[in-house]
Amino acid sequence: MSAPFEKTDDSVVVIIGTGAGGGTLANELAQKGISVVALEAGGRYLPEDYINDEWDSFAQLAWTDARKAVGGWRVARDFGGLPTWIVKAVGGTTTHWAGASIRFQDHEWKALDSYGAVEGANLLNWPIDGAEMAPWYDKAETKMGVTRTGGRPGLPGNNNYLVLEKGAKSLGYEKVHTGRMAINSLDYGDRIACQQTGFCFQGCKWGAKWSTAYTEIPAGEETGNLEVRERCHASRIEHDDTGRVTGVVYFDADGVEQRQAARLVCVAGNTIESPRLLLNSSSNMFPDGLANSSGQVGRNYMRHVTGTVYGIFDKPVRMWRGTTMAGIVQDEAHHDPSRGFVGGYELETLSLGLPFMAAFLNPGAWGREFTTALDSYENMAGMWIVGEDMPQEGNRVTLDPDAIDQHGLPIPVVHYDDHPNDIAMRDHAYERGMAIYDAVGATRTLPTPPYPSTHNLGTNRMSERPEDGVVDRWGRAHDVPNLFVSDGSQFTTGAAENPTLTIVALAIRQADHIAREMSAQNI
């Protein structure tokens, strides 16, 4: 049978979401001859559609459905209705991501063993490790064309990188380079080399950056085994009396409720929507939400320790020119508790255009301290902090009892409090970042607060024991044999690395497992 599929066809795999996890999984399964229906809440936008204007692009791509941010994090104060900066479109947040593709360090797979118990944190070891993941990382890097892997050269450094490199090396840092990036330094696959245009966050108009929107999705569709249904918002996963899932209820592009039957269901709607869907799928058999016997669905929300340091110099930098995130300092990424915290952090180049700089430099600020900084926009360099934050049970996604979205579904509430370890790490990173720019002669440095979260992790975490988490080592729900989680919500811990490469590697591995189990008639 080939796409499109009947809604009553219960032989198909239904995947919810088409981003790094869902989009990759969909193509991998389709390539293996498995029938897949992918439900995507957003519309389809391709490079020719992307808009190199920050607010216009935000209006085109961002997930702006009603959400609440609460808790002690500053995002709740500054952006109470926008806890995340992620994408609602075919390709999901792989349209927006910056391309940084670095592997977890070995010790990070075993955070509890590596760091010991941390008070207030809900640390756990992943049930898998770096050795097991190595071949899947290889496949992911090959698929995505990651630079500085597989013999592919690094990207050239832009102005923003050259400032970072000079300062970092002045301080004695050694692991300083233009990153391992899923942005082509040479033509690779069907994608051309980076043209140094900037606007990586707004969708790459050259298609030089890997995004499932124009790689995995069309490749899967070409097999005839993948049907992507755009603007279809999953609202509930249904199950039978034996506790196996049987289909997915969704609202189609016209807002009409539909149901797609399924042999198995893979949830990949990003770390906010995935637990929301499971919680909204509660039933008599699963009164606390589907696959939630552990009570961990929605908990342990992680978003990385982030923050940005901008340096102002007496001469122009023009940081917006070129690849946004092709620059990294990895010398602080290791675990060294003598710094006053466990885990580590990466420092990566980042720039915003003037409109977003005004919105995010210091939200709520006004007056000359703020505007004189903007006056020096042309002379700014910027770096982003990406560090491991602590999983905490109280940091969680819940359903709002008082507010519903356009489909009548309870909206998600995202609660986050910084752990003392997070704060200590951020303060350390601010100090190091400012020192890097001071070493190049910065006349002013700005430790800028976190933006709405782009890295959203952990709310359906992977665990060896069913009581500790939601899914097993394959991403399969402990409680439901034919339900999988395929996005960053399965992360047990966040590590210090940008998560996309690991999400893709896990999806390739999961596809292999699902195909094997289906073939053996185990699911």
Partner 1 sequence: MGNIDRTTMTRRGLLARGLGMTGGFVIGSGWVAGRTAAWATEVTAIRPETMATLVQMARDLYPHDRIPDENYVVAVKGYDTPDQAPMIEEGVALLDGTAADHGHPNYLGALWETERVDILTALEGEEFFHTIRSGLVTGLYNQKSVWPLFGYEGESFSEGGYIDRGFNDIAWI
Q: List residues binding partner 1 (CB under 8 A).
A: 52-53, 55, 156-159, 162-163, 166, 194-199, 205-206, 315-318, 320-322, 353-355, 357-359, 364, 366-368, 370-371, 374-375, 377-378, 440
The nearest distance, CB 163 to partner 1, in angstroms, is: 6
Partners of 15 in beta bridges: 38, 266
Contact partners, residue 390, CB within 8 Å, separation at least 6:
118, 120, 121, 122, 123, 302, 419, 421, 422
- Which residue, 17 or 203, is less far from partner 1 as judged by CB? 203
Distance CA 363, CA 449 (A): 8
The nearest distance, CB 294 to partner 1, in angstroms, is: 41
Distance CA 510, CA 326 (A): 29
- Which residue, 199 or 512, is less far from partner 1 as judged by CB? 199
Strand 36-39, strand 13-16: pairing? parallel
The nearest distance, CB 52 to partner 1, in angstroms, is: 4
The nearest distance, CB 354 to partner 1, in angstroms, is: 4
Asked if 138 contacts 131 with a C-beta cutoff of 8 angstroms, the reply is no
Residue type, 116: G
- Which residue, 185 or 493, is less far from partner 1 as judged by CB? 185
The nearest distance, CB 274 to partner 1, in angstroms, is: 31
- Which residue, 321 or 513, is less far from partner 1 as judged by CB? 321
- Which residue, 286 or 360, is less far from partner 1 as judged by CB? 360
The nearest distance, CB 148 to partner 1, in angstroms, is: 18
- C-alpha dist (Å) from residue 253 to 93, 247, 257, 346: 20, 18, 10, 40
- Which residue, 146 or 440, is less far from partner 1 as judged by CB? 440
Distance CA 29, CA 123 (A): 32
Partners of 382 in beta bridges: 310
- Residue 130: name the closest of 111, 109, 113 by CA: 109
Distance CA 506, CA 474 (A): 8
Q: Radius of gyration of the chain from Cα atoms? A: 22
Asked if 508 contacts 140 with a C-beta cutoff of 8 angstroms, the reply is yes
The nearest distance, CB 510 to partner 1, in angstroms, is: 36
Burial of 267 (0-12, 13-18, 19+ CB in 10 A): buried
Please give the helix or strand (H or E) that residue 23 lies within, else none: helix 20-31
The nearest distance, CB 347 to partner 1, in angstroms, is: 17
* Alpha carbon 88 to its chain's center: 13
- Which residue, 48 or 254, is less far from partner 1 as judged by CB? 48
Neighbour tally for 116: CB within 10 Å: 10
- Which residue, 10 or 314, is less far from partner 1 as judged by CB? 314
Contact partners, residue 375, CB within 8 Å, separation at least 6:
none
- Which residue, 301 or 320, is less far from partner 1 as judged by CB? 320
CA 285-8-287 angle, 5° bins: 10
Burial pattern 241-250, b for ≥16 Cβ within 10 A else e, equals eebbbbbbeb
The nearest distance, CB 339 to partner 1, in angstroms, is: 28
Asked if 84 contacts 272 with a C-beta cutoff of 8 angstroms, the reply is yes
The nearest distance, CB 98 to partner 1, in angstroms, is: 16
- Residue 322 phi, psi dihedral angles, 5° rounding: 90, -175
The nearest distance, CB 414 to partner 1, in angstroms, is: 21
- Which residue, 320 or 416, is less far from partner 1 as judged by CB? 320
- Which residue, 322 or 387, is less far from partner 1 as judged by CB? 322
Residue type, 22: G
Distance CA 50, CA 155 (A): 23
- Which residue, 197 or 246, is less far from partner 1 as judged by CB? 197
Residue type, 267: V
Residue 267 backbone class (left: φ over 0; alpha: ψ -120 to 50; beta: rest): beta
The nearest distance, CB 75 to partner 1, in angstroms, is: 15
